Amino acid sequence: MSEADCTEYDTPVTEDETEALVHGICFKTGPPATVGVELEWLVHELRAPRLPTTPERLAAAAAALRALPLGSAVTVEPGGQLELSSLPAASLTECVASVSADLRLARAALADLGLGLSGRGQDPWHPPRRLLDDARYVAMERYFDRTGPAGRAMMCSTASVQICLDAGYEEPGPLGHGRRWRLAHLLGAVLVAAFANSPLDRGLPTGWRSTRQAVWASIDPGRVDAPPEGAEPRTAWARHVLDAPVMCVRTAEGPWLVPERVSFRDWLRGGALPRPPTRADLDYHLTTLFPPVRPRGHLELRMIDAQPGPDGWLVPLAVTEALFEDPEAAERAYRTVKPLAERALGEDGTSRAAPRNPLWLDAARHGLADPELREAAVDCFAAALEALPRRGAPAAVVDAVGAFAERHVARGRCPADDLLDEVNGRTP
C-alpha cells in the first residue's frame, strides 16, 4: 500500500501532502482496457411530455429503478434527473450491451408509472427547481446563487452523456496519458458541436445550440474550468485543485458552511476556516469540481449533451471510444483537432481554458454550422467509422454512427437543429 493510501482520513493534511496526494491519484496509467458511460435523463409524463412531473412521482420513479436488478448504479440529481452509471466494461460491445439491457428494464418500469426518459441537454420547457434537500445540494445552491442563476440551471435542468476512459499509458504516443489529456480538450469542442442538443429554455430559442454548455461556461471559473494548457497534466491538475474555491465544509449538525472566496490552499495554510482540512475533506473537495474533462484516475469526459431517442447515447459513446482507444484513429483525430488550438486563444494571444475559450463557446453557440468544426467532425467521424469494426463494435452501433454522420455531420447539423425545426414547424 502506498503512503498516499495510508493517510488517515480524519487527520489534518499539509499543503505538500495534499499536492502529492492529488498528483498521485489523478492519472492511473497503464494499457487502456475499460470504458464506461454515465447517462443523465430528464423524466417526463408519457401522457403529456411537456407537463412538469411532481416530486412524488419522481421519487416513485427513482424507487422503481433502484428495485430493479440493474448493473448500472442509479442516482438522482437535484432537479429530479435520473442518472444510470455503468460499471467499467472490458469493451465497447460489453458496455453497450450492459447499459442497453438496463435501459430496457428501466423504461419498462417507468412506463408502468406513466413516465418516460427524455434525452435533452437542458429541460426545454421548465425553469430550474431543486427537488432534493440533501445538505450537499442546499450548500451548492447557496454557493452558486452568489454569482447568478447559471448554477441552479446546471444543477436542476441539465443532462449529459458522460464517457469514462482509462487515462492511458505513462509513455508518450497516441495512447499516452499526456496526449489523451490534450486530445480530450480539443476534441471536446468537436463533441460539443456535433452533439449539441439544448437550444431552448422555457420553450424559447436561446441562440445557443448547446444552452447546457453555455450554462456551464457561465459558472464560477474555479469550479468548472479546465487547468491551464501547457503544464504537465498531473502538476497542472494538482495546482488547480488546491487553487479552486472550497464550495462547502461538511458539519455534523445543521447546515454546512459555505465560505466566500476561500481556496483549498487557503484552508490548508490556516486561519480561513474553523478547523484544518483532512484527507476526507480533500476527497470531498474533488467531487465539487466540474471541469469538462475530470481526471479521477481515469478520464471523465463531461461535455456532451444528453441525446434524443432511446439509443441516441450510443453514438457519442462509440465515436469517443474509437477515437481514443484505436491508435490509428487517435492519431488521425489528434492531427485533425490540433489546429483548433489556435481558436482557444484569447485576444492577448494566451491560451484560454475550456469551456469558456472562443473555440468552446463557438461550438456551443453554432454547433456544426461552424465550418471549421464541421470539417473536423467529418474527419473524426470518418476515422471512428473506420476504427469501430477493428474494435469489434456490433453492426448496429456502426450503423447508428453512420446514420448520425449522414443525417447531421455531413450536413453541418446537430440534434439541436432538429428540435428547432420541430418548434418552428419545419421539416429537417
The mean pLDDT values, 10 residues at a time, for the chain of 428 residues are 51 95 95 96 95 93 97 97 98 98 98 97 96 95 96 97 97 94 97 98 97 96 91 95 97 93 96 92 97 98 97 98 98 98 86 93 98 98 98 97 98 98 80
Provide the whole-model pTM.
0.96
> Which pLDDT belongs to residue 350?
83
For 79: left if phi > 0, alpha if psi spans -120 to 50, otherwise beta; the answer is alpha
Instruction: Retrieve residue 160's grid coordinates.
Output: 449529459
> Which pLDDT belongs to residue 40?
98
Contact assessment for residue 335 and residue 174, using Cβ atoms and an 8 Å cutoff: no
**Dihedrals phi, psi of 219, to nearest 5 degrees:** -90, 160
> Which pLDDT belongs to residue 231?
83
> Which pLDDT belongs to residue 4?
43
Instruction: Retrieve residue 71's grid coordinates.
Output: 448493473
> Which pLDDT belongs to residue 427?
67
